[in-house]
Amino acid sequence: MQNKLKILQIGSSDWSKELTIPDNMNWYYFFPNSNLAIKKVMEMDKIGKFDAILVDDLRRIPDLFMIESKIIPYTVFYDQEQETQEADIEYFLKRHCAQPTDMSDRADLLRKLSKALFSGQYGDKMTPLDMVVSPGFRGKICYNGYENLELEGDFGQDFQSILSWKYNIIANKFNPVELWLEYEKSGSCELRLRLYNIQEGSTADIARETVFAEEDMRESMVLDNDFTSYLGVSLEARGEGRIQVGALHQRLTRFEFGKYVLGGKILRDSHRQEINYFFYPGDLKPPLAVYFSGYRRAEGFEGFGMMRSLGCPFLLFSDPRVDGGMFYLGSQELESSIHKIIQEHLDFLGFTERDLILSGMSMGTYGAVYYGSEFRPRAIVLSKPLGNLGTIAQRGRLRLPEVFPTALDVLHRHTGGKDKEHVEELNRRYWRKFEKADFSRTTFGIAYMKEEDYDPTAYEDLVAALHLTEAKLISRGVPGRHNDDLAVSVSWFMNYYRMILEKEFGRKK
């Protein structure tokens, strides 16, 4: 098998002498105090990095000091039962975001790692438009765009299928998937999800059936099978009430080692709404750069390479809801969680608000300003800013038909309606936040589109609002509409970042 995973283990005993190593792994074991040998083997075998480094004794961490520059964050796994008081070891674990791991069952750990250490990331969703309501259901049915499918009525005394999804899900034995279903319910109804594993190469042979009750759906449903199959999915209900079913998300799982990527995490509220985030330690020196992803149908994180090139620590946020994002708005619970994550990472790094930069492109600019208003950041960097979400939805009816119809879903989700007062309410949500902010010591770097068609007054409104503060503004207009000339707008976005890093933090490329 080509491109095998390169696994380094350091400790007093070689696991490969006791366990069967998975076929897709090349195993490298070194006795304690073998730091020179590790470096030499990496040079001889032309190993640029190890996919995982397993440490069952924290006292052996100094053996890795000579190859620190080759270590990728989140790839060091150490026994969670161990602790250390050694400052240099503590710093190493912090710098490389080492993961405390349950090593009580080493065979199972290796099995999971053999499936979790794939390259890249993958996640997508089936929206309410991909659902089919069971013909036998006689209650009320309402499709609310990409937001949800609403069913209301009597579902019977026994569980019965109320809807299914048009498409099957591939469940590969080498790359297991995990599922997350958005739903809310009221009344006395109960739900459960039924999965049919259809044997690979067959159209009807069901190899396994699995049922997930509501209790089982409180966390992601990981489907770790020893065979490849296609998954048919149906939702069953009983009782009486109203059910709102949103997207069914599927992702290649990394088990407990991360979401989408090693170290990736997900915020969830009591309404089963999600926001993804990922922290990269960089050099642990100021500033902390926060990047909010733009609108994207593919789930996962964007901007990693771009932000890593800056050298500083950074946080990535992405919004997987509806078709490609809900502009990072949500319940108070969800919004407070985003603020909390930013603050926790400032504290982790020992930084203050003055060591914070928030940024985003398109949809991400909304999150950058909205959450930036809760801090007193050093800078906010924006490309293709959007602020008046109600206006964007309103323009979609006549002035911008079929360009961004999901704006109507965003409007309905956040206000409960689609009338003029709801448009104004959603617009005000942004500016109320802005008006309460202290941007007196904040630099804004903005690349905007001169013929902006989503939110035509976004840039002018920002300039007018900033005029009332003592904020510093640097900006550049790019010819074109919102979706034009991405390369130039990204270039200016990065230029502003580097200017601020050099002038404010003494960082040079």
pLDDT tens digit sequence for 371-399: 999 999 999 999 999 999 999 999 988 88
- Give the end of a domain, one of 76, 98, 116: 116
Q: Please give the DSSP secondary-structure letter assigned to residue 21.
A: P
pLDDT of 200 > 90? The answer is no
For residue 76, what are the β-bridge partners?
53
Which tokens is 178 given? Answer: 């995990």
Residue 1 has pLDDT above 60, yes or no: no
pLDDT in tens, 421-437: 999 999 999 999 999 99
Q: In CATH, what number is assigned to the domain containing residue 89?
A: 3.40.50
Q: Which of 116, 150, 184 delimits the end of a domain?
A: 116
Largest CA distance in the chain: 72
Q: How confident is the model at residue 362 (pLDDT cuts 50, 70, 90)?
A: very high
Cα(366)–Cα(414) distance, integer angstroms: 14
Residues above pLDDT 90, as percent of the chain: 94
pLDDT at 12 over 90: no
Q: What are phi and psi of 148, to 5 degrees?
A: -170, 170
271 and 177, same structural domain?
Answer: no
Q: Are residues 333 and 447 in the same domain?
A: yes
Which 3-state string (H, E, C) describes 158-210? CCEEEEEECCCEEECCCCCEEEEEEEEEEECCEEEEEEEEEECCCCCCEEEEE
Q: Are 126 and 113 in contact (CB under 8 A)?
A: no
Percent of the chain with pLDDT over 70: 99
How does pLDDT run across 86-110, given as a tens digit for each residue?
A: 999 999 999 999 999 999 999 999 9
Tokens 């770790």, located at residue: 224
- In angstroms and rounded to an integer, the radius of gyration of the C-alpha atoms of the chain is 25
Number of helices (H), then strands (E), belonging to the chain: the values are 11, 25
Q: Are residues 20 and 151 in the same domain?
A: no
Q: pLDDT digits over 465-479, tens only?
A: 999 899 999 999 999
Q: What's the per-residue H, E or C state across 210-248? A: EEEECCHHHCCEEECCCCCEEEEEEEEEECEEEEEEEEE
What does each C-alpha distance from 266 to 94, 194, 258, 290, 335 come to in angstroms?
A: 20, 24, 9, 16, 13
* Mean pLDDT, rounded, of the chain: 96
Answer yes or no: do 152 and 167 share one domain: yes
Residues forming a β-bridge with 148? 144
pLDDT tens digits, one per residue of 285-338:
999 999 999 999 999 999 999 999 999 999 999 999 999 999 999 999 999 999
Record the tokens describing residue 262, joined without a space: 């090693």
Give yes or no for residue 28 having a pLDDT over 70: yes
Q: Provide φ and ψ at 247, rounded to 5°.
A: -70, 150
- Are 28 and 55 within one domain? yes
Can you tell me whether residue 105 is helix, strand or coil?
A: coil
How many Å apart are CA 7 and CA 75, to the nearest integer? 10
Same-domain check for residues 178 and 110: no
Q: At what angle do helices 420-435 and 406-415 cross, to 10 degrees?
A: 70
**pLDDT score recorded for residue 2:** 63
Looking at residue 56, its pLDDT comes to 93
Residues 426 and 297 in one domain: yes
Instruction: Answer yes or no: do 342 and 438 share one domain.
Output: yes
* CATH number for position 153: 2.60.120
Edge-to-edge order in the sheet of strand 356-361: 265-268, 274-280, 314-318, 288-292, 356-361, 379-383, 443-449, 472-478
Could you give the number of structural domains in the chain? 3
DSSP-derived letter for residue 463 is H
The structure tokens 């993958």 sit at 122
Q: List, in order, residues 6 or more apart from 429 with CB less than 8 Å away.
A: 329, 389, 414
Tens-place pLDDT, residues 439-464: 999 999 999 999 999 999 999 999 99
Q: What's the CA gap between 311 and 304, in Å, rounded?
A: 11
Is the domain of 158 the same as that of 175? yes
Secondary structure of residue 422 in the 3-state scheme: helix
Asked if 100 and 243 sit in the same domain, the reply is no
Q: Count Cβ atoms below 10 Å from residue 99 Cβ, excluding itself.
A: 19
State the CATH number of the domain containing residue 464.
3.40.50.1820
CB-CB neighbours of 502 under 10 Å: 12
Predicted pLDDT at 201: 80
429/361 same-domain check: yes
How many angstroms separate the CA atoms of 198 and 211, rounded?
A: 15
Reading the block at residue 92, the tokens are 């190493």
Domain that holds residue 85: 5-116
Question: Which of residues 116, 135, 155 is at a domain's end?
Answer: 116
Q: How many residues does the chain have?
A: 509
Q: Same structural domain for residues 213 and 231?
A: yes
The reported pLDDT for the residue numbered 400 is 84
